[in-house]
Copies of this chain bind each other. A is one copy, B any other.
Amino acid sequence: MAARHEEIAEELRRAIDREDYTVGSLLPAETELAAHYGVSRGTVRQAIAALTTEGLIGSRQGARRVVLAGRRSQSFTELCSFAQWAHAMGREATGHVVSSAYHPATPEDSERLQLPLGTRVLHILRVRGLGGRRVLLERTVYADWIAPAVERIEPECPSVTQRLYEDEGLVFAYGEYLIDAVAAGAQDAELLGVRRTSPLLRVRRVTTTRAGRPVEWSEDRYRSDAVSFSVHNSTGNNALARKTGPAMS
């Protein structure tokens, strides 16, 4: 059973999706919503806070809240799991392990995974497909404590994330993403079926458990004609930041 504030948040999202509240229109006052749902004002505010961080509505003291966007963003799970994302869109995801090997943790591995230098970590190179087309190259490094479970997964498994949840109860809870563009190298070009020097969208990410323990870090390269990323941002919720690249520092 979900919390009452989550139910209310979900009802409001649906109402926005249904265009009961169109983009640019005003939401009812907190007190009206509280009366309508039979809850206290605090609970309504909690529901509304969720929609605010999702970028769906905006507010200013003294004025009614405004509907900013109508599209529902996907859950964190769908962001972490390529297969679950594909499934939510009604498409089929494939996965294929190109190589898999243990290496001692480099200083970079060590810092990102919070492991001692030299710990044996598992490097895996995967090609991921969407609807029959190769769209993504994943170069992933797994922490030593999860590596054995990853190794037990068959090479063609479409959803590693789901398998790690089913087999180990492992849940991804936090992620940090660094996004830029790179030219396809020889290996990228061959595995993705694009020309060398084609532009690719690169995402370097670290994913951790609910307890803050890093599980994996990965460098993902997407075909730029197949995938893009979207971010909602506001004065009250600055999840996105611009960084200088290596050539500027």
Whether the Cβ atoms of A240 and B239 lie closer than 8 Å is: yes
Shortest beta-carbon distance from A182 to chain B in Å: 6
Report how many copies the assembly holds: 2
Question: How far does the alpha carbon of A117 sit from the alpha carbon of B131 in the complex, in Å?
Answer: 36
Interface residues of A in 190-228 (CB under 8 A from B): 197-202, 208, 210-213, 222-228
Interface size in chain A (residues, C-beta < 8 A): 76
Whether the Cβ atoms of B230 and A178 lie closer than 8 Å is: yes
Asked whether A199 and B179 contact (CB < 8 A) given A79-B242, A238-B76, A244-B226, the answer is no
Chain B residues lying within 8 Å of A147, measured Cβ to Cβ, are none
Chain B residues lying within 8 Å of A178, measured Cβ to Cβ, are 228-230
Asked whether A243 and B231 contact (CB < 8 A) given A181-B199, A238-B54, the answer is no
The verdict on A246 contacting chain B, using a C-beta distance below 8 Å, is: yes
Q: Which of B66, B235, B245 contacts A227 (CB 8 A)?
A: B245
Most chain B C-beta atoms within 10 Å of own C-beta, residue among A173, A213, A229, A240: A240
Q: For A173, give the chain B residue with the smallest CB separation.
A: B235
Whether the Cβ atoms of B183 and A237 lie closer than 8 Å is: no
Shortest beta-carbon distance from A58 to chain B in Å: 6
Whether the Cβ atoms of B74 and A175 lie closer than 8 Å is: no
Whether the Cβ atoms of A242 and B227 lie closer than 8 Å is: yes
Chain B residues lying within 8 Å of A235, measured Cβ to Cβ, are 75-77, 173-174, 210
Interface residues of A in 1-47 (CB under 8 A from B): 23-24
Shortest beta-carbon distance from A206 to chain B in Å: 9
Whether the Cβ atoms of B201 and A238 lie closer than 8 Å is: no
Chain B residues lying within 8 Å of A189, measured Cβ to Cβ, are none
Asked whether A239 and B241 contact (CB < 8 A) given A131-B248, A181-B224, A229-B180, the answer is no
